Structure 1
Amino acid sequence: MINPFNITKAVDYTDEELNKFWVDFPIEKGFKGIIKPTSEMPMIILGSKGSGKTHIMKHFSFSMQHIRWKENILNGIIEDGYFGVYLRCSGLNGFKFNGRGESEETWQDIFSYYLELWLSQLLLNNIIKLIENTDVRINEHVIALEILDLFDTKDLPISIKSLTHLSKYLNDLQKEIDYAINNRAFTNVKISENIKILTSPGKLIFGMPEVFSKEVKELKDVKFLYLLDEYENFTPNQQKYFNTLIRERKNPTCFKIGAKRYGIRTFETLSAGEEIKIGSEFEEFDLDDIFRNQNKIYSEFIKNICIKRLENAGIEIKSDELSSKFEKSDDDEFLREISKKEKKHLKQLSAKLVKVVDKVMLENIIKNISFEKDVFLERVNVLLFYREWNKNSNLLKASEEIKLSCIEYFNFKNTGRHHSVIDKHKRDIIDTLYRENSQKIPTYAGFENLIKISNGIPRHFLITMKHIFRWNEFYDVNIFDTKNENKISVDSQLNALADTTNWFIEDSRHPGKDGNKIKECIFRLCDYLRELRFSDTPPECSISTISIQTKVLPKEISEIIDFLEQYSYLIKLDTGRRDKNKNSRNETFQINGLLASEWELSISRRGIVDLNFLEIKDIFFPDNEDVYKKFIYSTKSKYNAPFGNGKITISLFD
């Protein structure tokens, strides 16, 4: 069986496959209501790598319109209200337009002309295809002459009498530029001396839609939608040119620009460096925000994607059955198992107590803390005891009070100290028990958890599913066979998450030494948070979220945190947090779900760890590795018994 999740990138699909695998966002009007393809207001569409941005933008292209509407393409375009012209900016190889003895201004002129020719060809070729597949009748010669009139020179071929001829002519002009650039190293002639710019910026991009709107009656009320994807491949100067087009937009033309979250290099225009203004000249839409802030809708979206993939692989499964195919952790069974074995948490507590109390007191304390009827409550007792120890309480008295509180909670489930701890730390305590008993933490398994771990990035979920199928093939388990009740095991899910995490770390890695440094930073942060979560006295529950006062950070650390956020190592949360000691708001970040699963952190958002300046420096920019090791040692001493105190042995009779 072919893995239904093998392909996870839109660029690896044909247009027919993209249409076959298309899943709309489950809200009124779907992605069309979000992207607004007929709106006159230009839009910049941002999204993390793997957010589905390319698939969404390609959906609004003419090639996809043609596939959707087939023989009714003309009526379809009229109903859609737009005619999509899609360009992947990476295909333009924008970085070749620099250096080689030419000034930035010259390159800007050459690039703008080149892009003008490219977009014009795409539009022309789409129009030609429309005419070939419909009964639209136009006077191609008249239209060709009107378009040629958009050029600044009259010295043009007189043989151009059709749109096909015109497209070929534009392609020849583009090839002349390519030839001049590619052969610069072999000639003594400057590129600018070999190229004649025959039209002004925007003349063709705006002028051709005006001609078609006027001369093709079926298109007179249709918006001509330029979709520029992977905008991050343009240099700042190249983006300045297109920002200028956004500012000077004319009907019936509109723009949708797609970029990764770090891809907008400038908002400046060629108009004396003035910037295009959000709200008045363009609107911005962040796919990550909508996916992360609308959890239920995003979950439904991912479920629909999953079902669509399975259906196209010949696997029929109902929406309400999908979740049941994923095995979840059985915490009750685990607790029953360890209750019959040696209590690792009591053994560890005894090993720490023996250094500070005599044998008689040790036995009395362990007797008070032990609770044979419920190993989970027994572990709660241990946590409460560590807290009292950290406060320098009378240890024997503290253990007696904890014993009474435990019995009372067991019998009456009252709202005392046990209730408070369990309400906040239940998941942490169970995960700690898994870890103390040398077992994998299975918390991350389950369909809903896999969606949560994807952090609003569909590709992360798809790649996890890809590896799940691979692991089940390895175990020779047919998980979606309707004749059996096989489930995707917890082990398969955890193995798949580990594989996906390794892929993510490498895929998002910055090249060179800086990449290694940034990777070390996120690793150190995850190590630190894991030390906190599994310490004797965790400072917060469900640890995976940090709060940072970013305004006081030096440039080097700010750049690292920006990179980690832009590449989704860190997920920036909407609401900041007020600094406890200062009247300022900190920025809050959660560890990416894949990293959280690898480092055994929580995937929930509850407790927030405040990092002060020195802690941030030691994690993100230590002077050397020894500084970080000392910082971790200090952290362990602070949150683990005996809490950095060199106490003398205490006797029962002291």
Structure 2
Amino acid sequence: MNSVNPFGSLRAAEYTDEQINHLWVDFEYDIKSSILDLSGATPKYIFGGKGSGKTHILRYYSYLVARQRQDKLTGVEVLEQLGALTIFYRCNHFGASKFDSLPENLKQIIFQAYVELTLFEAVVECLIDIKNTTTDLAYNDEDFLAEIRRNIGHDSLNLIQDLDSLRVWIFEHRVLIDRNLNKFIFIKKVELFESILLINNLFSFIKPAINIWSNALTNFPLVFLIDEFENLESNYQSIFNDFVRMANSFVSFRIATRPNGVRTNTITGVNESNLSGHEFLKINLDEILMSQDTKHFINNFIVNRLYNNPNIHVKINANQLFDSLDTSDLLQEAIRTLDLPINKILKLTKENFIRSFPSDFRQYADSTFSILCDDIDELILKKLNILRFCKERKNSTNFLEIAQQIHSESLIYREKEQRRTGKYATSFNHYKYDLFAQICLDARYKTNIPYAGFETIFKMSSGNPRNVLNILNKIYELLSFEGKSFYSQESIDIETQTKAINQAAKYFAEEDSNYGSLSDKAKKAMFKFAAYLATARYALNIPESSPLAASFKDEDLNREAKEVYNLAVEFSLIQEMPDPRSDRNSKQLHKLIKLNPMLSPLWNLPVVYRGDLTLNADILNAIFDPENTSFDEHLNRVKRKWNSIHIDQLDTNLKQNVGSTAKLPEQGKLPF
């Protein structure tokens, strides 16, 4: 057994350059041309949730990492493969918070100086590597340094004679800012920064200087790959917005950030903003990962992690690693596999049905249940008949007739050779997984409802590499604890997968989303949203099939709710869908969102959505506004609505045997 967990390291930010190369899996999408487009002059923002691969992509296509994997090539040959001189840097390494103690008029100035020195140093580091590895070219250090002196104009540069000493010079000026920032905390004297080097125009002169240094680099644009942009506050992001506006065919930027990680598009000094489609373009990595086209990528990603070991020679399709439930036909095999207690489930189902029957017609509840469910062996059809009965418009003169009609349709549907398209078949296809989930919960299955199979892992992860690693890491740990191996010839059983997937969901919610008070607000909203979805899924009258999504009017969010909503999206607790939902009544376009399916097991929710719930302004703000305390009231209201059977009263004679003191049915607690 391999003692090293191949799924244990989740964050690309923690990888060495060697691991970035070693763990790379080719993407279905053409990353270099379609996502990064390194030859394109227009800067790009690459949006993606945590773990979507932003860092891995940027680091993989950075010059220094590419040089390491192509160590037999010269620096210029690596540039030819990349098509650009690419410089990677993470925003949190700028340490923006250390500038916060400065007066407002100095913050941006000193921060910009620090950033330009940092990126200048990174460029020179790459030039040194190119010179050391491409020895057959001529390099004009003297003219390069003359161009630097002409644009920076600092006397100490006259002492610099080569690239190595230039790199040291830049480093010393950057460290001087750090030292003075530390001093300022104690003595609060702005005079400390009078001697600070301000470049101000690095991106206007650095590429012409490189071209002077070596004409072999003339055709390679300089592209800065900036990661974790969301870690900068708005006033610091605006500095990069200035850089973005200065971009051209010779110097450009690719900036990776979380959804909603760009807090401002304004530039400094003037009342203007960069515009999407003009100063920059957008790429949504989450949308790409959620497409079916990436399933092959995730398959290869798993196999590469598992078998990228010189001592392991067996390679299989990832789909073969995981047992899955047979949910074909009427789910009889799935129910048999899980050994669910049919009689217990039926008893609870009948109790819920009778309790939800209108009090004025309670004496007919038992006979109505019998009409719907007798002579049918398949548990899923009994549940579907009840759901169909709840959804049919019925009155006091025809509800028994409607129950009989539904029963007749189910008898036809259960016979494969007699099945035909129609209302019953559509209902079955829409609701079978929700009804199966209810069956599992009614049975109190070992870990609530089962989650298993490669297809489930792919959909639950949204094609996100870190989410896949999270799930497989938990599976690996469970197998190791039980003395089993991922490398055995046996596929992983459903119970182990379900336990591990529940642990992965808990880790995602509690550990992988822990960012202090801001994430706590987002989590509270996520908990409410998930509870609302679960109330829908485990209702007697399920309002929407596979309820994992909701739609709403963006303008219905109040200011406080909007802030928390944006945080929930940024922390990947909630995912925004690319296409808006057209309201069935007004035809207005509504925002469409879904709970991140990594969280689904915590509430026994589906990992894909079919329908979406409509959230009005009241429930929307009850979910996302941290000061709003009305959520429980709204939840109880829909709980009553979705768990009540409605029968219109047309014939008062049917009420003659109903006691005048009959009470409304008590709503049972939902089983989650």
TM-score by length of 2: 0.87
Quote the RMSD (CA, aligned, Å).
2.9
- Could you tell which deviates more after superposition, 123-132 or 639-648? 639-648
Is the 8 Å Cα contact of residues 10 and 55 (structure 1) preserved in structure 2?
A: yes
Paired with 1:180 and 1:546, the residues of 2 have a C-alpha distance of: 51
Partner of 1:38: helix, strand, or coil? coil
Paired with 2:142 and 2:421, the residues of 1 have a C-alpha distance of: 85
Q: Please state how far the C-alpha of 1:142 moved relative to its aligned partner.
A: 3.8
Structure 2 gap segments, 5+ residues each: 659-672
Within 5 Å, which residues of 2 pair with 1:456-535? 456-481=463-488, 484=489, 486-506=490-510, 507-512=512-517, 515-535=519-539
Go from structure 1 to structure 2 and tell me whether the alpha carbon gap of 1:644 and 1:562 turns closer, same or farther (over 3 Å shift): farther
The one-character-per-residue Cα deviations of 1:529-580 (angstroms, maximum 9, x if unpaired) are 2111111111221111111112133212222222222322222122222334
Within 5 Å, which residues of 2 pair with 1:8-157? 8-27=10-29, 29-73=30-74, 74-100=76-102, 102=103, 104-135=104-135, 136-153=137-154, 155-157=155-157
Q: Please state how far the C-alpha of 1:272 moved relative to its aligned partner.
A: 1.2
Residue 245 in 1 paired to residue 243 in 2? yes
The one-character-per-residue Cα deviations of 1:172-194 (angstroms, maximum 9, x if unpaired) are 11122211111123446x24444
Opposite residue 58 of structure 1, the aligned amino acid is: R
The one-character-per-residue Cα deviations of 1:582-617 (angstroms, maximum 9, x if unpaired) are 352211111110222321222223112112223324
Equivalent residue for 1:432? 438
Opposite residue 549 of structure 1, the aligned amino acid is: K
Equivalent residue for 2:633? 630
Paired with 1:81 and 1:360, the residues of 2 have a C-alpha distance of: 76
Opposite residue 456 of structure 2, the aligned amino acid is: N
Paired with 1:252 and 1:623, the residues of 2 have a C-alpha distance of: 50
Go from structure 1 to structure 2 and tell me whether the alpha carbon gap of 1:599 and 1:368 turns closer, same or farther (over 3 Å shift): closer
Opposite residue 80 of structure 2, the aligned amino acid is: I
The one-character-per-residue Cα deviations of 1:221-265 (angstroms, maximum 9, x if unpaired) are 222222222222333233222222222235532222222223222
Paired with 1:624 and 1:174, the residues of 2 have a C-alpha distance of: 47
Residue 538 in 1 paired to residue 542 in 2? yes
Go from structure 1 to structure 2 and tell me whether the alpha carbon gap of 1:220 and 1:615 turns closer, same or farther (over 3 Å shift): closer
Paired with 1:290 and 1:132, the residues of 2 have a C-alpha distance of: 39
Paired with 1:406 and 1:583, the residues of 2 have a C-alpha distance of: 35
Is the 8 Å Cα contact of residues 85 and 223 (structure 2) preserved in structure 1?
A: yes
Q: Please state how far the C-alpha of 1:351 moved relative to its aligned partner.
A: 5.6
Structure 1 gap segments, 5+ residues each: none
Within 5 Å, which residues of 2 pair with 1:500-649? 500-506=504-510, 507-512=512-517, 515-621=519-625, 627-641=630-644
Opposite residue 469 of structure 1, the aligned amino acid is: Y
Opposite residue 476 of structure 2, the aligned amino acid is: F
Is the 8 Å Cα contact of residues 428 and 542 (structure 1) preserved in structure 2?
A: yes
Partner of 1:150: helix, strand, or coil? helix
Opposite residue 461 of structure 1, the aligned amino acid is: V
Go from structure 1 to structure 2 and tell me whether the alpha carbon gap of 1:160 and 1:307 turns closer, same or farther (over 3 Å shift): same
Q: Please state how far the C-alpha of 1:419 moved relative to its aligned partner.
A: 2.2
Partner of 2:152: helix, strand, or coil? coil
How many pairs are equivalent? 638
Paired with 1:531 and 1:391, the residues of 2 have a C-alpha distance of: 26
Paired with 1:366 and 1:650, the residues of 2 have a C-alpha distance of: 22
Equivalent residue for 1:172? 172
The one-character-per-residue Cα deviations of 1:90-113 (angstroms, maximum 9, x if unpaired) are 11101212334x3x2323222222
Partner of 2:89: helix, strand, or coil? strand
Residue 384 in 1 paired to residue 384 in 2? no
Paired with 1:2 and 1:214, the residues of 2 have a C-alpha distance of: 50
Q: Please state how far the C-alpha of 1:31 moved relative to its aligned partner.
A: 3.8
Equivalent residue for 2:195? 196
Partner of 1:156: helix, strand, or coil? helix
Paired with 2:597 and 2:248, the residues of 1 have a C-alpha distance of: 44
From 233, 252, 262, give the equivalent of 2:260.
262
Within 5 Å, which residues of 2 pair with 1:196-215? 196-202=195-201, 204-215=202-213
Paired with 2:248 and 2:521, the residues of 1 have a C-alpha distance of: 46
Equivalent residue for 1:278? 276
Go from structure 1 to structure 2 and tell me whether the alpha carbon gap of 1:282 and 1:355 turns closer, same or farther (over 3 Å shift): closer
Within 5 Å, which residues of 2 pair with 1:361-372? 362-363=366-367, 365-366=369-370, 369-372=373-376
Paired with 1:79 and 1:389, the residues of 2 have a C-alpha distance of: 66
Is the 8 Å Cα contact of residues 51 and 465 (structure 2) preserved in structure 1?
A: yes
Paired with 1:624 and 1:569, the residues of 2 have a C-alpha distance of: 20
Go from structure 1 to structure 2 and tell me whether the alpha carbon gap of 1:390 and 1:524 turns closer, same or farther (over 3 Å shift): farther
Q: Please state how far the C-alpha of 1:79 moved relative to its aligned partner.
A: 3.6
Partner of 1:71: helix, strand, or coil? coil
Partner of 1:226: helix, strand, or coil? strand
Is the 8 Å Cα contact of residues 570 and 590 (structure 1) preserved in structure 2?
A: yes
Paired with 1:393 and 1:461, the residues of 2 have a C-alpha distance of: 54
Paired with 1:227 and 1:570, the residues of 2 have a C-alpha distance of: 27
- Could you tell which deviates more after superposition, 36-45 or 515-524? 515-524
The one-character-per-residue Cα deviations of 1:3-36 (angstroms, maximum 9, x if unpaired) are 1111111121110111111122113x44443201
Residue 405 in 1 paired to residue 409 in 2? yes
Within 5 Å, which residues of 2 pair with 1:323-362? 323-330=319-326, 331-336=331-336, 337-338=339-340, 341-342=343-344, 343-344=346-347, 345-350=349-354, 362=366
TM-score by length of 1: 0.90
The sequence identity of aligned pairs, in percent, is: 25
Paired with 1:284 and 1:51, the residues of 2 have a C-alpha distance of: 15
Q: Please state how far the C-alpha of 1:323 moved relative to its aligned partner.
A: 0.3
Q: Please state how far the C-alpha of 1:493 moved relative to its aligned partner.
A: 1.9
Paired with 1:585 and 1:351, the residues of 2 have a C-alpha distance of: 39
